[in-house]
Amino acid sequence: MMILPVSGLLMTPEVHYYFQKDYIERLTKEKAQQDEDVLFLIMKEDKTPEEMTAEDFYPVGLMGTVTEVESDGSISVQAKYRVDAEVLGYEDGKWDVSCSLRPDIADMDEQSREQAYKEVQGALLQFVDGFQWGIVARNYVLRWKNLEEMCVALSYQLGLSDEEKYAILAADSLSERYRLMEKAVYEFIEVSRVSADAQKAQTESNEKLYREDALKKQIAILQKELDEMHPESVTDVRKFEMKIQDAGMNETARREAEKVLNRMKQEGENSHEYGMLYDYLDFVTGLSWKKEEFRPIDLDRAEEILEEDHYGLKKIKERIIQQIASMELKKKQSGSILLFVGPPGTGKTSIGQSIARALDRKYVRISLGGIRDEAEIRGHRRTYIGAMPGRIMEGIRRSGVSNPVMVLDEVDKLTKAFDGDPSSALLEVLDPEQNSNFTDHYMNVPYDLSDVLFICTANTTDTIPEPLLNRMEVLNFQGYTETEKLQIAKKHLLPKALENAGLSETQLEVPDGLLRKIIADYTMEAGVRGLKKCLDALCRTAAVRLVRGAEAPVSIREEELKEVFDMHPIYHEKLQQPGTPGVVTGLAWTQAGGDILFIETMFTKGKGETLITGQLGDVMKESAQIAVSLVKFLFPDEEEQFEKNDLHIHVPEGAVPKDGPSAGITLTTALASLVTGHAVSPEWAMTGEVSLRGLVMPIGGLPEKLMAAVRAGVKKVFIPEENVRDLSDVADEVKEKLEIIPVRKVADVLKAVGILEG
């Protein structure tokens, strides 16, 4: 008799089982023979023969007969009886088992068994009829002869545990065994029915969603065709739906826009909030949300554009080219925020336009002068009536792209107010670490500003808050020399002025001498803004003469300029001849450029008081006091003059406010000249701050001051020794016309002018 351990099958008597060859070989070395008896030992869990022990088997097994042996060694077995089996041991591939027949308790006749099977079969047939595969399943169900065959066939679908299967086999009572099998089949039917219902509901739900999506697509296609046929009848809601869909917004912005759109639908056109909702959607859908692809930059072409649009500014152009080159290498926006600082009319704003043209980008200019409300930068919250976006986002919308070149003009003219500081709002805008998620209060959703090339301009850095200034790289625009102004006028200003007046180059004759006269006598500036106005007036005058019949080319004489410009020539301080004790030529810096000034000192009878006139600021008054103390220290024998006389210090022009420490050396030299009676040549000028220790300290605005010295006819200039490094920013033609003497101490100056003996 062949002994075969088995596991995981629903074992019931009088049914066929099929075992593959590899399964038999794994558990026993015996080969089955036709009509051989087989004893099934029911394992509690699947193990190899070497691992099995007597405790691994259930006490009830099955006895059967081999009905068929396949050519590959697989067998079919007809189970017949239940047996009580006791495993005694396993050795050399053979099992030692003691077994005895386990009789059934016949408490259920054949008719009752047949009736029970028919009921279960009917329930199963009714269940399978509800499926497309029911016809195939029905044939299988009708083939089964009894409940045992049904349970064996469905054993893998019934989902019974090994313990539940063994309980069916071990039940001695036929009625109890049938009850357990019926329960297993009915539970299978109910579980399958619930799963089928759930799957059906899920399928119906999915079909509903698919149908809804299909209908929406059809509606969208039809609506699009209608909109194309009748664009004038497209509603605001429909228009914004399409714009939101095509805008490419980030997820946060899209949700906010859809929320506002839904509210707009609910409110209706007659609502008092409809206009506010419309304006918001019109703004956010008008922005460019999609990142622009980086365009390759032709560095040579960029350099040509900068040279073409602006004369001079060599260092500025070099720094711009460096930044553009870095952007080309990284294929994205990079580099510092550039701050162009310099006098008006020196090309700070217009060079931003050239950069935009060189990069082939849109150009936006935002004037910040006089802004005192933070909301002008960051926008107003929509809870306020008349709320508007900030100037930054308005500029982005105006440009129509997400990566324009944006010039923030007059950053130094931002002002604080009690309700906020606009310069603080600019910190986030200009910080590359933060501006990728800039949130305008009006929009209330983040917008990526990291691709915007920001360029700032200012006339001075003195009024720019330190945190804001630290985020920018300062590039100083020096004033133009007369030669540079002449070239700018010929290459840029005059052609534009002719074009604006409708003239050609052959209709107006403007010789270089006339241009030099205009530059010298009718403009007083570091830049060329006033020169542009003069050339515009010159061209308009020529246009009038041509219309009245004058022959081309029209020529305007120098003596006619006063009438053409309707102004007298500008008065420039001229050197006094000869020198006067107590009067010394100084150099000053103004926002309009450099200029010379005369420090005038005089003793009058009095009680040792000091009178200072000329609208001097506190810093300049302090410089005057330091100068008095220094002269008393350097010339102790002359101290009696200060005690018996009143000292009057005056700086013309009296109507023009003046301040700053750079006149310290001029004040000291003027007082030394006064007390010693030694006149200083007016062709010698000087600039520098002084300390009580007698040191000459560095100053700013040196290029502009030296240009003013050349214009006034000065021959020799004394500058602080530490300012020698700034001479690289001074035009060569200016340095060629001046003898520049660096000094470290006040005594060095006084010795050079002959007041102190060497």
CA–CA dist 722, 312 (Å, integer): 26
CA dist 669 to 56, 432, 602, 658, 666, Å?
118, 50, 13, 19, 5
- Strand blocks (E) in 639-713: 645-650, 684-686, 689-690, 696-697
Contact 274, 264 (CB under 8 A): yes
Query: How does DSSP assign 575-593, residue by residue?
Result: --SS--TTEEEEEEEETTE
Chain position carrying tokens 């006028």: 489
Catalytic residue among 705, 715, 728, 737: 705
Q: Which residues contact 652 (CB under 8 A, 6 or more apart)?
A: 573, 597, 598, 600, 614
CA atoms within 13 A on the CB side of 292: 23
- Buried-exposed string 556-571: b where 16+ CB fall within 10 A, e elsewhere: beeeebeebbeeeeee
Annotated catalytic residue within 662, 681, 691, 728 = 662
Count the residues in the chain.
758
Residue 662 is a catalytic residue: yes
Q: CA quadruple 232, 235, 241, 247: dihedral positive or negative?
A: positive
Label the pairing between strands 696-697 and 645-650. unpaired
Q: Is 330 exposed, middle or buried (0-12, 13-18, 19+ CB in 10 A)?
A: exposed
* Active site (annotated) includes residue 31: no
378, 425 contact by CB (below 8 A): yes
Between β-strands 337-341 and 94-101, what pairing exists: parallel, antiparallel or unpaired?
unpaired
What is the DSSP-derived secondary structure letter of residue 490? I
Q: Where are the alpha helices (DSSP H) in 10-146?
A: 21-27, 110-128, 134-143
CA atoms within a 13 Å half-sphere pointing along the CA-CB vector of 753: 33
- In angstroms, how far is CA 601 from the centroid of its own chain? 59
Q: Which two tokens stand for residue 284?
A: 């956010």
Residue 509 in contact with residue 554, Cβ under 8 Å? yes
By annotation, the residues acting in catalysis are 662, 705
